[in-house]
Amino acid sequence: MLSFRKMDENDYDFLMDMQYESIHILENKPPKLELLNDPHLKMYHETTELGIAV
């Protein structure tokens, strides 16, 4: 059975790490915060409506 819950603060770092690792850039990949603070990507981790599957 799959259920969902709202994210808590402990999930945020994991989400950021996984989002960064999922971005495929062959060379000179920018640092995590620089890349994830791009407005095109920021929207994916700044929403308060995300849920995490448990």
What residues does each domain of the chain span? 4-53
What local confidence, expressed as pLDDT, does residue 54 receive?
45
pLDDT by residue (tens digit) across 9-43?
788 888 888 888 998 888 999 998 898 888 888 87
Candidates 15, 6, 2, 3; CA nearest to 49 is 6
pLDDT by residue (tens digit) across 44-53?
777 655 555 4
What local confidence, expressed as pLDDT, does residue 7 receive?
77
pTM of the model: 0.62
Phi-psi region of 28 (alpha: psi -120 to 50; beta: other; left: phi over 0): left
